[in-house]
């Protein structure tokens, strides 16, 4: 059986990842591809339990290293229970966030260092880096997220604007360093236009 593909959608708050996860999944299914959509933190029972620990509570709940390790633990379970089995069964897995979010949020904006966070995660995922990462960029992403979430923002989404500016800068640095894997996509157009751009960024894998 041919191996499937592992695709991830990345970006800061409010760039439209959840919308595009559903739309891209449907577009690929229309091409006859067996698609599994998932999210991080989460995607497996163990990872969903860790998600609640990570996103609920006050800012002081976890130190930066503890937060990074919890994300890595959730990701390991996600790969073990969902990503690896599905891809080896010939399916395409599309995930709303994966390792690059840890690199950008905890490594870049959180000050732990991108390479240090990469090393923590590489051990857990055992080489299961995405075949293609689609980085959604929107100039008003953080403002849209604040308007959407209001007082309901989670621990990470509710951090100051300066933190989220540093997240975007880290994402851009990762894309510049890994252009074969990470493809920036302008997410400021209509949802339909953005989906078309995502498909174009996957054309060589189809």
Q: pLDDT at position 83, please?
A: 98
> Cis bond leading into 41, ω under 30°?
yes
Q: pLDDT at position 156, please?
A: 74
DSSP 59: G
d(CA 78, CA 135): 20
Token duo for residue 79: 């790969």
d(CA 11, CA 144): 13
Q: pLDDT at position 159, please?
A: 79
d(CA 80, CA 87): 11
CATH class of the domain at 5-205:
alpha beta
Closest CA to 16 of 173, 197, 201, 150: 197
201 with 134: CB under 8 angstroms?
yes
Write down the pTM of the prediction.
0.90
Query: Sign of the CA dihedral 26, 27, 32, 36?
Result: negative
Residues of the chain with confidence (pLDDT) below 70:
1, 140-153, 155
Q: pLDDT at position 153, please?
A: 66
Start-end of H helices in the chain: 17-29, 45-55, 64-78, 84-88, 99-102, 114-125, 141-149, 161-177, 191-201
């Amino acid at each position: 059986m041919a191996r499937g593909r592992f695709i991830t959608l990345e970006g800061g708050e409010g760039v439209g990842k959840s919308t595009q996860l559903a739309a891209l999944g449907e577009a690929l299914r229309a091409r006859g591809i067996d698609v599994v959509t998932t999210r991080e933190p989460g995607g497996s029972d163990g990872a969903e339990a860790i998600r609640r620990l990570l996103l609920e509570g006050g800012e002081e709940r976890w130190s930066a290293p503890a937060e990074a390790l919890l994300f890595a633990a959730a990701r390991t379970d996600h790969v073990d229970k969902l990503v690896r089995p599905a891809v080896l069964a010939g399916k395409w897995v599309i995930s709303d966030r994966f390792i690059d979010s840890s690199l950008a949020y905890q490594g870049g904006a959180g000050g732990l260092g991108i390479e240090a966070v990469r090393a923590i995660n590489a051990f857990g995922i055992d080489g299961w880096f995405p075949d293609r990462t689609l980085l959604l960029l929107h100039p008003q992403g953080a403002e849209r997220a604040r308007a959407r979430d209001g007082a309901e923002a989670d621990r990470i989404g509710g951090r100051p604007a300066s933190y989220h500016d540093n997240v975007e800068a880290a994402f851009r640095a990762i894309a510049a360093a890994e252009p074969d894997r990470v493809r920036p996509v302008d997410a400021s157009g209509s949802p339909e236009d953005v989906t078309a751009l995502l498909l174009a960024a996957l054309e060589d894998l189809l």
